[in-house]
Structure 1
Amino acid sequence: MLKDRLYYKDPYRTAFKSNVVREGVEDGRPFAVLENTVFYPTGGGQPHDTGKLNGIRVTDVEEKDGEIRHYVEVPLNALIVSGKIDWTRRHDHMQQHTGQHILTAAFIETAGCPTVSFHLGRETVSIDLDTEHLIDEQLDAAEKRANEIIMENREIETRWVTEGELDHSRLRKAVAVEEEIRLVIIPDYDYNGCGGTHPYSTGEVGQLKILGMERMKKKTRVHFVCGNRVLRQLGKKNQVLKEAMGMLSVPEEETAEAIRRLLNANRTLEKRLQEAEDRLLEAEAQSLISGGRLVKAAFSDRPITDLQKLGRAAVAAREDVIMLLAVRNGSKLQFVAARGSEAGYSMKQVASAALEATGGKGGGSDAFVQGGGDTSLTAEELLAIMAASIGE
């Protein structure tokens, strides 16, 4: 029976001995099935325990076909095993999972938002709330209520019931099983079916901190951490802040304002740099069109956007000009063709010839085209083909 499993009978138990029922291999991974175990298998949003069996590392624990498989690095080849779980990992999962129960109930109480899914990751935990609209004030209210429940150190009860013994009016959500239903109850606060491991009181969760939220289709995902993870997150953020303070040479309370000033200055510099680059391209275009009405220019390792700007600047400055430009960027040969309003040719002719030669893709209008493809042609050879397409 489920309730006889060691991890349910005592979630604080870390070591045990058991007979080996059988060993096997699945997808190249050896595993062992035991008579009983303290190893919690992945399920209900909570990851599996890790640890050792007879000194051999347990890498995964899954329940399949009613049996718990302990996947190990090498076969045990044993009839009896001594096992020990990684308590730090188990206790962390207990803190995070219980914190999820508390926060989920807090969102129902303070915002009327039920949880539809839960994920316990290595660094953070998340719940998806059944709402598209959630504001910071609602996050704050739920976090405050959750921490009140934690600080009150309320007892956490676990109880095995049948379908007939369920109080459906108190259930936070419908249970997924009909037999051996396990309830996790925080009196006068939360009544929920759950198969995870939990501490005996809410105070063991320590503290809960919401890290942020994001929209997920028609749901809202809330990221948070509990217990020792709060301290780790605080340590990480403090280190980042310390480094930022050092680079900016400002005290902590002035860091945000210093970053704003730096970003504003950077945006100004980027704008000025872009303006300077545009002026250089205009000067380059003037130089190219000074040699005659037909301009052919080959480049290498240059952004196609530069060629586009050169073409537009040239036709704006000279109405009869025809600009044929090609650039080699790695294996790709790209082109731009542009004409002034008095040039008298359609650049679509040029594009058709260039695309046939390169086997690439592109297009445009009668006045401006662009494209390219993977080809062994040189830029100069492509320019010759483009010029010939209009009889030049």
Structure 2
Amino acid sequence: MTQKLYYLDQYIRDFKTKLISQERSEDGRWFAILEETAFYPAGGGQPSDTGTLNDNAVVEVEEIAGVIRHYMDRPLESSHEVEGRIEWDKRLDHMQQHSGQHILSAAFSGSSGYETVSFHLGKETCSIDLNIEEISEEDCMKAEALANQKIMENIPIHTKWISKNELAHYPLRKTPTVEKDIRLVIIPGFDYNGCGGTHPKSTGQAGMIKILDWEKQRKNIRVTFVCGKRVTSQLHQKNEVLKELTGVLNAPPPQMSQAVRTLIENANKNEKLLAEARETILDYEADILSRSFEDIKGLKVVKQIFSQRSMADLQHLAKGVLQANEAVVLLVSENGDKLQFVFGSAKADKNMKELMAYAVQLTEGKGGGRPSLAQGGGNAVLTGEELMERLLDKF
């Protein structure tokens, strides 16, 4: 069995060991099995370490049936001795986030009695799910303040292997899910919890904890947070946004909310005015169209071919023409590789639904409606003019 150096010293970055074997996984990936490893395999909500074995990239590490697999981008060259190197910035980040999760979970438990039921360590943010259905900002701020207080106290973080029989000697926040090889992560006087992850030597190395958001997740509350260097990264990103918005809105941060609300209100007013203006223009256009009818086989027919007009526009125009005339209206719009069309009739003996069925057959499209007004669209397998000619042949 591979010796787990990351439990002996979580600060080991480089190590030398012997290659036991290398094999292909069930999905064809190469992996190495080593006598010793400092690479932490994924587990307990913490992603695996990455790094290198000799010159090979280690892209993932997992433990299956007690065997630690180091997945590589290619097989190692024949070599008995292997030099491993951990991607330290990633390991340190994981240690900060994981220890921060323990501290924040203990803070929620201590300040409000809320227990953590799951943990996720993502690439940019982390989250815990609390066993409650509602939470207040005050609850979150109390827990955050307590967590950062414990970080400032720089309390040592200890790990200890115990048996199942020894569990009763510790005030555990949560009962471990395993019965053998139980590893406790202990923040004396504050948190005692079973965990197989990597952690720094003291709470101070978690850096800082900042809660970003919270939301309902089924019957739980999911709290999103960051720790350590990620707090600085989040602060930088948000500060850059604030700087840009200060110029765009011509307002300092405390006044930005009101400035944005004013912009939205003005935009809504302008949108309404534009919609009214567009409707007026369409009414005017429909009036002009209604006067340009042609006499085709004794019928008043208003026909027009457009370019890049929406279905809503075509429908508005058709209805406007029908209100002004007892006519048949045929409107077609050429929209790139598509055709859209609306047909209407004030004549009971002219069924536009049947004409629509013919049009969609010609254009490999879809459509429907009523005998008095139908709409549809299809592919531009023929021009708008050609489609119009075919429709008129049906009269």
- What is the SS of the residue equivalent to 2:105? helix
- Structure 1 partner of 2:52: 52
Q: Retained in 2: the 8 A contact 1:322–1:343?
A: no
1:324 to 330, 353, 359: 330
- What is the SS of the residue equivalent to 2:36? coil
Cα distance 1:41–1:267, how it changes in 2: closer, same or farther (>3 A)?
same
1:296 to 297, 300, 303: 303
2:386 to 362, 370, 381: 381
* TM alignment of 1:1-392, pairs within 5 A: 5-26=4-25, 27-76=27-76, 77-167=78-168, 170-292=171-293, 293-315=300-322, 317-318=323-324, 320-340=326-346, 345-374=350-379, 376-387=381-392, 391=395
Residue type matched to 2:145 in 1?
K
CA deviation digits over 1:9-68, x for unaligned, max 9?
A: 111222222111112234454322111111111111111112222343322222223221
CA deviation digits over 1:230-263, x for unaligned, max 9?
A: 0111011111111222233443433333333333
Unaligned runs of 5+ residues in structure 1 are none
- What is the SS of the residue equivalent to 1:166? helix
1: CA distance, partners of 2:19 / 2:134: 52
2: CA distance, partners of 1:189 / 1:272: 61
Deviation at 1:289, TM superposition (A): 0.9
Residue type matched to 1:96 in 2?
Q
1: CA distance, partners of 2:91 / 2:283: 66
Relative to the length of structure 2, the TM-score reads 0.88
- What is the SS of the residue equivalent to 1:116? strand
Q: Retained in 2: the 8 A contact 1:320–1:343?
A: no
Unaligned runs of 5+ residues in structure 2 are 294-299
Q: Retained in 1: the 8 A contact 2:290–2:325?
A: no
Cα distance 1:351–1:217, how it changes in 2: closer, same or farther (>3 A)?
farther
1: CA distance, partners of 2:158 / 2:319: 74
Residue type matched to 2:368 in 1?
G
CA deviation digits over 1:184-211, x for unaligned, max 9?
A: 2223433322111011222211111111
Q: Retained in 2: the 8 A contact 1:324–1:387?
A: no
Q: Mean Cα displacement is larger for which, 120-129 or 370-379?
A: 370-379
CA deviation digits over 1:152-176, x for unaligned, max 9?
A: 3233222212223223994444433
Q: Mean Cα displacement is larger for which, 361-370 or 168-177?
A: 168-177
Relative to the length of structure 1, the TM-score reads 0.88
Q: How many residues align?
A: 387
Give the RMSD, CA atoms, in angstroms: 2.6
Cα distance 1:363–1:246, how it changes in 2: closer, same or farther (>3 A)?
same
Cα distance 1:331–1:249, how it changes in 2: closer, same or farther (>3 A)?
same
CA deviation digits over 1:111-159, x for unaligned, max 9?
A: 4443333221221112233444333333223222322332232332222
Cα distance 1:339–1:215, how it changes in 2: closer, same or farther (>3 A)?
farther
- What is the SS of the residue equivalent to 1:68? strand
Q: Mean Cα displacement is larger for which, 220-229 or 326-335?
A: 326-335
1: CA distance, partners of 2:108 / 2:388: 66
1: CA distance, partners of 2:285 / 2:219: 51
Q: Retained in 1: the 8 A contact 2:133–2:219?
A: yes
Deviation at 1:105, TM superposition (A): 2.8
Q: Retained in 1: the 8 A contact 2:15–2:85?
A: yes
Cα distance 1:312–1:126, how it changes in 2: closer, same or farther (>3 A)?
farther
Cα distance 1:134–1:320, how it changes in 2: closer, same or farther (>3 A)?
farther
Deviation at 1:101, TM superposition (A): 1.7
Q: Retained in 1: the 8 A contact 2:334–2:380?
A: no
CA deviation digits over 1:267-294, x for unaligned, max 9?
A: 3322222222222211111111112342
2: CA distance, partners of 1:365 / 1:102: 66
Cα distance 1:70–1:336, how it changes in 2: closer, same or farther (>3 A)?
same
- What is the SS of the residue equivalent to 1:294? strand
Cα distance 1:185–1:311, how it changes in 2: closer, same or farther (>3 A)?
farther
